[in-house]
Structure 1
Amino acid sequence: MPPTLDAPNPPDDDDLDRVRPPQPVHYAEQALLGALLLEPQRLADTGTLDADHFDNHNHASLFTAIRTLPPPDPDDHAKDTAWLNQVLEHARLQAPGLNASHLHALIQFCPQPKHAAAYTHMIRADHARRLLRCHAERLALIATEAAGPDPAADALSQADALGRVLDDLAGQFTPHPGSLPRTPLPADVVRHAAEEDLDEERFLLATATASPRDVQQMKWLMAEDFILPLHAALWQCVTALVHRGGMVDPVTVLGEAQHHGLITDAVTPRDLMTLVSIPAGTPEYWGEKILQRALLARARAVAERITAYTDDPANTPHQLITGSRRVLADLSALRTRWNRATAPAAAPTTRPSGRAAPLPRAASPPDRPTVTAVRAHR
């Protein structure tokens, strides 16, 4: 017979730190704690389970107490409540709202103490889901705020942290057939840009037209990185001329644009000429800004897709891991191009005088036209 406590009434669920309707993991935590309170030797069935794996603070405090205190003698435990009272006293240091009623209710709730390992697995699986969601939300926040001196590096660092979490979880859960999640993924968010962002794309087109030699080194920038489709198409026109070894100036770019069908009633030849006729700074400078925006947008999309996986309770831990890894891989190509774009410049050449010639790379343009001036020119 299990030891009985003085308070037989089950605890009020409102005291158990819940802010949402109880999920399956809530009942798994109750069942596991009931098993451990009833048969403390079942602690060996929990493996490396930690208090941080629990979703409920009170439950985590009780598990900490159970794992910290020496287990009682089974015969003595069947006769009195001394060990249970010690567990309660220890747990109340972190969860003062606990009382004997909670422990009694947990013992009564446990269906089968011998199933402690199964309850443990459910707790670990839900913790994996919450952990992935936390890292994905952090990635989305970093990519959205784009704060700090190097937001791209911050986003990639968080993506690496998410990858390490996936690697760690992969070693904890056994693979099984049907490992791809069937969760419908959110559609790609349409990228909206401020006028300043569009002006940066215009500056790139103009500086690339004025400095076609620099464009040869910018294979890391692709049309898909642009926000405005017209700008993406004009970039393809410029790069096509450069790669063919053709002569590049506003007029030849206009001719290439005509062959690409860019001249319409809404986009006149004068409009296209204007877009490639106001250079400022270097193409690399504007190209890196455009690529950084594209990288952050992709990081946000990756985070939203992983969050969608974690929000679907039908996904098993292995499905979450497999699906998240595939989504995270979508960032790899952009990461490679970003690293290529921001790699240190080649060593400077030496002048006859012995002084090294500086090779500024992607420097901020000192004479960048104001947005007002650009609009006035257009």
Structure 2
Amino acid sequence: MPHTPELDEDDDLDRVPAPKPVHYAEQALLGALLLEPARLADTEPLIAQHFDSHTHAMLFTAIRTLPPPDPADHAKDTAWLNTVLNHARPHAPGLNASYLHTLVQFCPLAKHAAAYAKMIRADNARRVLCAHAERLASTAADPGLPNPVASVLGMADDIGRVLDSLTGQFVPHPGSFPRTALPPDVPRQASEEDLDEERLLLATATAYPAEVRHMRWLTEADFLLPLHSALWQSITALVHRGGMVDPVTVLGEAQHRGLLTGTLTPKDLMALVSTPAGSPEYWGEKILQRALIARAQAVAARITAYTDDPANTPHQLITGSRRALADLNALRTRWNRATAPKSASTGAPARSGPRPRAGPPRQTAVTAASSHR
């Protein structure tokens, strides 16, 4: 048996990551094409951009670009191999004749070129999908975007187009949903400004319940603070039952829902819903926007987890990613309903002048509360 020398524990080779499976698929395919150039027809629709290795991509480009040799002549000399090397070397300086011969020797069976090409395309699909998920995550985390919802949804649409393209390239199979353990949802961070906007929504919703009737696009899951979520449920329950809505009736509904505790007195609760400012729809849209951005980050993390799991086939990646996007599209639908122009057919009342959609300065809140009382 050949002796394999043991490496010292501190040897740098211990820290060199092992090549990924696609590395061997690329070597096998290139070896097959160098042996039998006619096998190039079996690799469609493979292109150079599908390769993980730049050197391999340049070599594949040279093979595709150059006219194939006569099979009889190719079997007798290395002229065509030398031509391929000379064509590829300017774009891959580390390439040499020795490596080409290594590729030829590495190929198990040239007739399996189509299978090797499929492995390469599958790995490329994983990388492309991962890159798009990373862009979605970075876009959702960017606080400086002028229109964050449009930017995030645009990135989500890009992922959808990638999935549409991949769907036609890989055959479905049983067990198509990935079994990857998904990362836990990251708790949403709430700034004081965010919580203040939720409080302003609750107060303006209590002051102007007629507008709340048309805000079914906002749900309790969109709120950052559980208490605010429960109070929103209390207010909307009163509105949709046709009940009278004011701070006292909201207090009564909250009492029935068990919201009064030692740390939340009746006086505290009524104060929370007694200082309206602006329009309920304005504050509601801000809350929904935050929820949509947070959902985009969760979707990006979920797709990244799928792509990081090498056990997932391309079809499993497609299926899992589509389901993840469906969660974001549910918020997209609600966002579109919230921001769509109101018409007579919706039954939504026109906003009045004193309560513009644009949020008022914070200092106007007391004035608005006084005028309401």
Unaligned runs of at least 5 residues, structure 1: 1-18, 348-356, 374-378
2:116 is the counterpart of 1:122:
no
Runs of 4+ in 1 over 6 A off after TM superposition: 357-362
2:195 is the counterpart of 1:198:
yes
Opposite residue 249 of structure 1, the aligned amino acid is: D
Opposite residue 215 of structure 2, the aligned amino acid is: M
- Does structure 2 conserve the Cα–Cα contact (< 8 Å) formed by 1:65 and 1:87? yes
Identity among equivalent positions (%) equals 73
Within-5 A mapping of 1:14-25 = 20-25=17-22
Within-5 A mapping of 1:328-343 = 328-343=325-340
Pair 362,143 (structure 1): closer, same or farther in 2 beyond 3 Å: farther
Unaligned runs of at least 5 residues, structure 2: 1-15, 345-349, 368-373
Which whole-Å deviations, capped at 9, do the CAs of 1:200-248 have from their partners, x for residues lacking one?
Answer: 1011111111111111111111111001000000111111111122221
Within-5 A mapping of 1:272-351 = 272-346=269-343
Cα separation, 1, equivalents of 2:39 and 2:183: 43
Within-5 A mapping of 1:138-149 = 138-149=135-146
- Does structure 2 conserve the Cα–Cα contact (< 8 Å) formed by 1:204 and 1:286? yes
2:164 corresponds to = 167
2:75 is the counterpart of 1:60:
no
Pair 358,307 (structure 1): closer, same or farther in 2 beyond 3 Å: closer
Question: Could you tell me which of 175, 179, 183 is aligned with 2:176?
Answer: 179
Aligned residue for 2:101, secondary structure, equals helix
2:247 is the counterpart of 1:250:
yes
Pair 358,330 (structure 1): closer, same or farther in 2 beyond 3 Å: closer
Cα separation, 1, equivalents of 2:82 and 2:154: 47
**What is the count of residue pairs matched by the alignment?**
345
TM-score, normalization by structure 2 = 0.88
TM-score, normalization by structure 1 = 0.87
2:207 is the counterpart of 1:210:
yes
User: How far has the Cα of 1:338 moved from its partner?
Assistant: 0.5
Question: Could you tell me which of 350, 362, 371 is aligned with 1:368?
Answer: 362
1:240 corresponds to = 237
Opposite residue 357 of structure 2, the aligned amino acid is: A
User: How far has the Cα of 1:21 moved from its partner?
Assistant: 2.5
- Does structure 1 conserve the Cα–Cα contact (< 8 Å) formed by 2:283 and 2:359? no
Cα separation, 2, equivalents of 1:362 and 1:165: 40
User: How far has the Cα of 1:327 moved from its partner?
Assistant: 1.7
User: How far has the Cα of 1:148 moved from its partner?
Assistant: 2.0
Cα separation, 2, equivalents of 1:134 and 1:331: 18
Opposite residue 219 of structure 1, the aligned amino acid is: R
Cα separation, 2, equivalents of 1:233 and 1:364: 26
Give the aligned CA root-mean-square deviation in angstroms. Answer: 2.0
1:226 corresponds to = 223
Deviates more, 1:44-53 or 1:318-327: 318-327
1:76 corresponds to = 73
Which whole-Å deviations, capped at 9, do the CAs of 1:311-340 have from their partners, x for residues lacking one?
Answer: 111111111111211221112221111100
